[in-house]
């Protein structure tokens, strides 16, 4: 791939959000490149739940079908990692006609694009306890909407790790009446204890030593003092961070105080040629909502390019830049 290769839109990340955007933009006859590092967030899970008409499909299958669909519209797919993004020409917030970006890839090449959509997802930070990482997405779970039905009515545990853990336990109670809250490193207020008790959730105080696994199944939780509680699945609320650190900050995109990029409702960031969609902008997004956000961003990006193409055509025909009032009236997706 030569450095001069130029696309209408480069999409960084080929998960549900990125591929949905690519589908819309490919069908809009745009020249699109998707660069994907191949590590979607839900890869450890055997099944993807809650996606209407695809409930239970393996996550890898959804993406394989998606890649085939977008390739059918001429979208190019590259297996690589974007290491940095650079703005190489101007535009302004009102009329970003000439905005262009250069994307540097881990493989050593670079590509240019008029607009960039970042859909790189998040990384989940789970406690560093023996046995825990290997069970992630199998019987060490975080999202009851993704996994709750599959473990309904079973003896479940919830690991207390942060301020939201009690609320998490109250949520999990919706799927089973046998829930044990392991306080672990969290400190509970009297009111929190009363709320857990009122819902029949057992509270076990004391630090957790490890998740116990036998015959490739989680069988319980062992505390530092030696106690063992039999459980068949344990929920934990991970720390969630946009992935990878700093990719959007390099373009001056504003972030909120949790570290997530701020966007308008189409996914446009404070850099007018850069959009973000899916988990990287909204950590709560499920696969179906990440896909929807990618689709909405794609429509806004195409509208923006139509506007830019028209502005350029007007300038070429009349040697004029579009006036500010015209520009302000322009649709923004």
Nearer to ligand FAD, 273 or 322 (CB): 273
Instruction: Spell out the residues 6+ positions from residue 312 whose beta carbon is closer than 8 angstroms to its own.
Output: 97
Nearer to ligand FAD, 96 or 121 (CB): 121
Classify residue 48 by its DSSP letter: B
| CB of 314 vs ligand FAD, minimal distance in Å | 36
| CB of 223 vs ligand FAD, minimal distance in Å | 25
Rounded to a whole number of angstroms, the CA Rg of the chain reads 23
Q: Answer for the pair 222, 230: CB distance below 8 angstroms, yes or no.
A: no
Classify residue 286 by its DSSP letter: -
| CB of 44 vs ligand FAD, minimal distance in Å | 5
| CB of 311 vs ligand FAD, minimal distance in Å | 30
CA–CA distance, 193 with 203 (Å, rounded to integer): 8
Nearer to ligand FAD, 32 or 308 (CB): 32
Nearer to ligand FAD, 97 or 143 (CB): 143
| CB of 160 vs ligand FAD, minimal distance in Å | 19
Nearer to ligand FAD, 80 or 222 (CB): 80
111: left (phi > 0), else alpha (psi -120 to 50), else beta?
A: beta
Classify residue 87 by its DSSP letter: E
In the complex, which residues of this chain contact ligand FAD (CB under 6 A)?
A: 12-18, 35-42, 44-45, 48-51, 81-82, 119-121, 124, 137, 143, 146, 243-244, 247, 278-279, 285-288, 290
Q: Answer for the pair 37, 311: CB distance below 8 angstroms, yes or no.
A: no
């Amino acid at each position: 791939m030569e450095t001069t290769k130029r696309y209408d839109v480069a999409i960084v990340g080929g998960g549900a959000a990125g591929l949905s955007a690519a589908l819309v933009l490919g069908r809009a006859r745009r020249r699109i490149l998707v660069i994907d590092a191949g590590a979607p967030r839900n890869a450890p899970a055997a099944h993807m739940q809650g996606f209407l008409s695809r409930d239970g499909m393996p996550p890898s299958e959804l993406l394989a079908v998606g890649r085939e669909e977008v390739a059918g519209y001429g979208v190019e797919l590259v297996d690589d990692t974007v290491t940095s993004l650079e703005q190489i020409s101007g535009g302004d917030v009102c009329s970003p006609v000439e905005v262009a970006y250069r994307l540097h890839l881990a493989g050593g090449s670079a590509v240019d694009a008029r607009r960039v959509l970042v859909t790189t997802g998040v990384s989940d930070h789970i406690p560093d306890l023996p046995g825990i990482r290997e069970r992630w997405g199998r019987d060490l779970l975080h999202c009851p909407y993704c996994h709750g039905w599959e473990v309904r009515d079973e003896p479940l545990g919830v690991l207390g790790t942060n301020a939201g853990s009690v609320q998490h336990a109250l949520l999990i109670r919706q799927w089973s009446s046998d829930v044990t809250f392991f306080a672990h490193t969290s400190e509970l207020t009297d009111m929190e204890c009363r709320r857990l008790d009122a819902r029949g959730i057992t509270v076990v105080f004391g630090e957790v030593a490890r998740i116990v696994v036998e015959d490739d199944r989680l069988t319980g939780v062992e505390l530092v003092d030696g106690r063992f509680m039999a459980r068949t699945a344990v929920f934990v609320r991970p720390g969630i961070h946009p992935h990878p650190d700093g990719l959007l900050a390099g373009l001056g995109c504003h972030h909120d105080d949790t570290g997530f990029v701020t966007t308008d409702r189409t996914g446009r960031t404070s850099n007018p040629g850069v959009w973000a969609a899916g988990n990287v902008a909204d950590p709560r997004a499920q696969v179906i909502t990440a896909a929807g956000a990618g689709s909405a961003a794609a429509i806004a990006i195409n509208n923006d390019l139509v506007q830019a193409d028209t502005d350029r055509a007007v300038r070429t025909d009349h040697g004029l830049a579009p006036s500010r009032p015209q520009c302000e009236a322009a649709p923004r997706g």
